[in-house]
Amino acid sequence: MPPHKPVVLIGHSLGGLLAKMMVSDSRDLIWNQFFRVPPDRLNLVPADRDWVEHVMFFKPRHDISRVIFMASPFKGSKTADLILFRFSSRLVRFPAELQGRHYRVFTLNRSYMANSKENRLIAKRQPSSIDLLSPESPETIALGQLKVAPWIPFHLIIGVRHGSNLTRSSDGIVAYSSSYLDGAESELDVKTGHTVTHSPKTEEEVLRILKLNLQPKNHAKAPTG
């Protein structure tokens, strides 16, 4: 990638989960949710081992100066467990190459997987993004444990359409408790649903944060060495 100025990531809903992965150190949190043994113990050809390690082990990017998370289900969403959504996930079709890789990595190595109901299902069939948003999903549990790199400031914009008690409220899809992260530089709770991006208050907050980021002293600096 050519040189560029540090960027501000803005992620809504599932996009917020992807953004969090870009600014976190996975360590072995994700791997241990799926497997009981290290990568070199699995029965894999080098290409498949490289792929699964690339997916499950990552470091925070050093070209990101700030992150804005909007209505992001860091701890999953119970909506994903509803019968309608579970049924919908069965209709998802994956490319043959991805299906083959999932079979070789998970199905053929199911004896090495951590013992859980969700992992037993993953060993049988490839999960969709709907499955992975379940609060019981191994990936969701691991992502909920990830910490944003300490040198990257982040902000929260959360919809609170349902519930008079903030900690028990929801945007209709994601609970407040799932969208909340400790350590945020700021938090804006908007009286709206999951489409929090449509709110004028959200637009004002994003502009405020972007202007804040233009100030040199507020740019995130990654550690060196």
In the predicted structure, residue 202 carries a pLDDT above the cut 90: yes
3-state DSSP percent of the chain in helix, strand and coil, to 5: 45, 15, 40
| Residue 157 belongs to a domain | yes
| Residue 190 belongs to a domain | yes
In the predicted structure, residue 88 carries a pLDDT above the cut 70: no
Question: DSSP per residue over 181-214, as a string?
Answer: -TT-SEEEEESS-S-GGG-HHHHHHHHHHHHHHH
**pLDDT above 70 covers what percent of the chain?**
84
Whether the CA torsion 174, 177, 181, 186 is positive or negative: it is positive
CB–CB of 130/86 below 8 Å? yes
What is the total count of domains within the chain?
A: 1
Using one digit for the tens of pLDDT, what is the confidence trace for 154-201? Answer: 999 999 987 667 878 888 889 999 999 999 999 999 999 999 999 999
| Residue 152 belongs to a domain | yes
| Residue 45 belongs to a domain | no
Range of the domain at 183: 1-20+63-80+141-206
Using one digit for the tens of pLDDT, what is the confidence trace for 126-151? Answer: 776 676 777 888 888 898 999 999 99
Q: Whole-model pTM?
A: 0.85
Q: How far are the Cα atoms of 7, 11, 58, 59, 222 from residue 3, in angstroms, in the given order?
A: 12, 23, 21, 19, 16
By CB atoms closer than 10 A (0-12, 13-18, 19+), residue 218 is: middle
| Residue 146 belongs to a domain | yes
In the predicted structure, residue 203 carries a pLDDT above the cut 80: yes
| Residue 177 belongs to a domain | yes
| Residue 29 belongs to a domain | no
Q: HSE (CB half, 13 Å, CA atoms) of 216?
A: 0
| Residue 40 belongs to a domain | no
